Amino acid sequence: MLQQWWLNKKLKRLINNNKLGKPEHLQTHYQYLLTNLNQPISKTDLLALDIEMTGLNPKKDQMVSIGVIPIINGQIQPKFAQHKFIKIQGSVGQSAVIHGVLDKDLNNALTQQEALEWLFEQCQHKVLVAHHAQLDLQFLQQSLRKIGLQPLPLFAIDTLLIDKRRQFRKHQFLNTGSLRLNACRERYNLPIYNAHNALTDALACAELLLAQLNKMGGLETITLAKLLESH
């Protein structure tokens, strides 16, 4: 209840504040979140997201690719999956080992601004989902700053936090690495994917969320307000 009241207030304030220089699509996004706060997740459209970066520090490192895949009516929709590369300054360097994106892949990539506009357009009527959402959202906020906008609050469902809470509730000791995407998936008997890119990870995250929601009592019974995190 408290969480819902607080989210409600925060979103309203955001929507009504005209001094923030909000991109238009983001305004629509906030409104969608507000109207769906009390709705069950099954009635809410979601957008699973994963961002590949050159490193883990939002201040220093840069985004190189974004993958998104929507969940509509409780089902993942590969048809609307999308993947974009983002231009960076300098080279991907050693990080290519992790995300597999090479400098030559970025030749025709979007600029940071284009990438943000594209992403906000995608999530006008959707709720973001990510594994360890905090990191992804911090990178997005940093990008907002880089293109001269305010680092606005962003909201997402975080599959990592969902599992962390579930594990704590079961009084289970958390090992390092036990909340990584594949480790979480294994607990739900989900197949392990070896291919590693932004889109595959977005898919893996979407599947994990569906498994988690089912374990928590089903998509019909859980409201958005219970899951949404603010950053």
Partner 1 sequence: MDNSELQPIFDFMRRLAPFDSLQEQTLKQCCKVLTIAYYSQQQKLVHVDSNDPQLYIVRSGAFEVSTQEGELIDRIGEGQYFGFSGMLSGEKVVNQVHILEDGLVYHLPAVMFDQLRANCHSFDRFFNQAFAKRLRNQGSLKHNHISTARITNIMSRELTTITRDATIHQAALLMSEKRLSSLIVVNEDKLCGILTDRDLRNRVLAKGLTGALLVEQAMTEHPTTIKPEALIFEAMLKMSEKNIHHLPVVKGNKPIAIITSTDLIRSQSSQPLLLIGQIDRQNNLESLIQVSQKIPDLLFNLISSDAKAMEIGRVLTSVTDSLTRRLIALRQEQLGPAPMTFCWLAFGSQGRQDQMAGSDQDNALILEREATKVEKDYFKQLSEYVCSALNECGFPFCPGNIMAQNPKWQLTLQQWLQAFSKWIKTPDPSALLNATIFFDMRPVFGDLSLFKQLQTTVLKNTKNNDIFIAALSQNALQSTPPLGFFRSFVLERDGSEVKGIDLKHKGNALINDIVRIYALSVGIEEVNTIKRIEALIALSAIDKDIAMNLLDSWEFIAHKRLTNQGQQFNNTQPVSNYILPDSLSSLVRHQLKDAFKVIHEAQGTVKHKFLRQF
Distance CA 217, CA 221 (A): 6
Kind plus residue range of the DSSP H or E element containing 27 = helix 24-36
Interaction of residue 191 with partner 1, rule CB under 8 A: yes
Distance CA 98, CA 54 (A): 9
Minimal distance in Å, beta carbon 70 to partner 1? 10
Query: Closer CB to partner 1, residue 27 or residue 200?
Result: 200
Distance CA 130, CA 51 (A): 9
Interaction of residue 118 with partner 1, rule CB under 8 A: no
Q: 4, 8, 27, 82: which one contacts partner 1 (CB under 8 A)?
A: 82
Neighbours of 95 (CB within 10 A): 19
Minimal distance in Å, beta carbon 76 to partner 1? 4
Interaction of residue 153 with partner 1, rule CB under 8 A: no
Minimal distance in Å, beta carbon 85 to partner 1? 8
Query: Closer CB to partner 1, residue 196 or residue 226?
Result: 196
Neighbours of 141 (CB within 10 A): 18
Interaction of residue 218 with partner 1, rule CB under 8 A: yes
- Any idea what DSSP says for residue 149? S
Interaction of residue 199 with partner 1, rule CB under 8 A: yes
Give the SS3 label for residue 110: strand
Give residue 197's Cα distance to chain centre: 15
Q: Using alpha carbons only, how large is the chain's radius of gyration in Å?
A: 17
Minimal distance in Å, beta carbon 119 to partner 1? 15
Binding positions for partner 1, rule: CB under 8 A? 65, 67, 69, 74-79, 81-83, 85, 188-191, 193, 195, 197, 199-200, 203-204, 206-207, 210-211, 213-215, 217-218
